[in-house]
Amino acid sequence: MNKHSTPWFLLSLVLLFSGCALFEEEMDRRTPTASVEGTRIAALSFDSVDLMVDVRIDNPNPVGVRLAGLDYDLRLDGERALSGSSDNRSEIPARDSGVVSIPITLGFKDLYGRVGGLRGKNEVGYDLDLGLSVDVPLLGVRRLSANTASTLPLPRPPQVSLGNVRVDHLGLTGARILMDLGVTNPNRFGLDLDALRYSLTVEGQSWISGLVEETTRVSANQNTTLTIPVDLNFASLGTGLYRMLTESRALDYQLQGSMTGTAGDSALGRFDLDFEDLGNFRPGR
């Protein structure tokens, strides 16, 4: 290269790099942007929560763009809990914006197995990272990012357990016992039970099944006791029942049933839950 061509070469480099910078600037200007417009609880039960995330995509281009897929990564208390993807193909009009709703379902049993320290909590903080691929004409597929953070409720199902079993009356043909069922509410909201079905098996023998249909209020973080009178017949249950009630040995039992009611948390509303309790008891007097 001679000394006369050097200035032209340098000028060409300047123009080339300037053109690249301008092109990159134009690409940035034409690349859509994404932001989280809001999150909401779409559904909530004692088993799972459905989180809906609304993402706004702004398209500055004179032509429409198409979403080419999305993915997300969810962390609870800083621990990775869930990741997923979707082949959503929503279209965003030219020089306009659109909202893409992303549903995320979280099963509590699965979360408790993945993330330590969740049991016993009423809520947990989360961080959600979103990645959206947008196909822009002439520019190709551009990767957009968005993030949001908030809290998720962690409702826990009420527990039913067998308490004291006392012999109220013992006769020649049968006995009346008083059976205490304890209902524990571990949540920060109250529960109104309107029906409780139960069946009690003792030493492998079905003793009783029944239905309680009176409204029972169980306050937040409290427990209450339902005392149920039960009549047992020696003829139908056998003479071994008399020995069970009079001897001071522990008896193995299985308590099963279901309960329906209304939760004090409006997002939960009505519920219908099964329960089971295993253990042993000594009949009292």
pLDDT at residue 97, rounded to an integer: 95
Q: For residue 11, what pLDDT band results from cuts at 50, 70 and 90?
A: very low
Which region, left, alpha or beta, applies to residue 77 given φ > 0 means left and ψ of -120 to 50 means alpha?
Answer: left
pLDDT at residue 12, rounded to an integer: 54
Could you write out the DSSP letters of every residue in 177-243?
Answer: EEEEEEEEE-SSS-EEEEEEEEEEEETTEEEEEEEE-S-EEE-TTEEEEEEEEEEEEHHHH-THHHH
What is the arithmetic mean of pLDDT over 134-149?
94
pLDDT at residue 25, rounded to an integer: 57
Could you tell me which residues come within 8 angstroms of residue 268 by beta carbon, excluding any fewer than 6 positions away?
A: 44, 45, 46, 155, 189
Min mean pLDDT across 1-15, 183-197, 262-276 is at 1-15
Q: For residue 242, what pLDDT band results from cuts at 50, 70 and 90?
A: confident
Distance CA 171, CA 280 (A): 24
* pLDDT tens-digit readout, 53-89: 999 999 999 999 999 999 999 999 999 999 999 988 9
What is the arithmetic mean of pLDDT over 251-275?
96
What is the pTM assigned to this prediction?
0.80
Could you tell me which residues come within 8 angstroms of residue 80 by beta carbon, excluding any fewer than 6 positions away?
A: 73, 74
The first and second tokens of residue 223, run together, are 């427990």
Pairing of strands 65-76, 79-86: antiparallel
Q: Which domains are delineated in the chain?
A: 33-153 (2.60.40.10), 159-281 (2.60.40.1820)
Q: How far apart are the first and last CA of the chain?
A: 113
pLDDT at residue 101, rounded to an integer: 95
Q: Which residues pair with 99 in a beta bridge?
A: 56
Q: CB-hemisphere CA count at 13 Å for 162?
A: 24
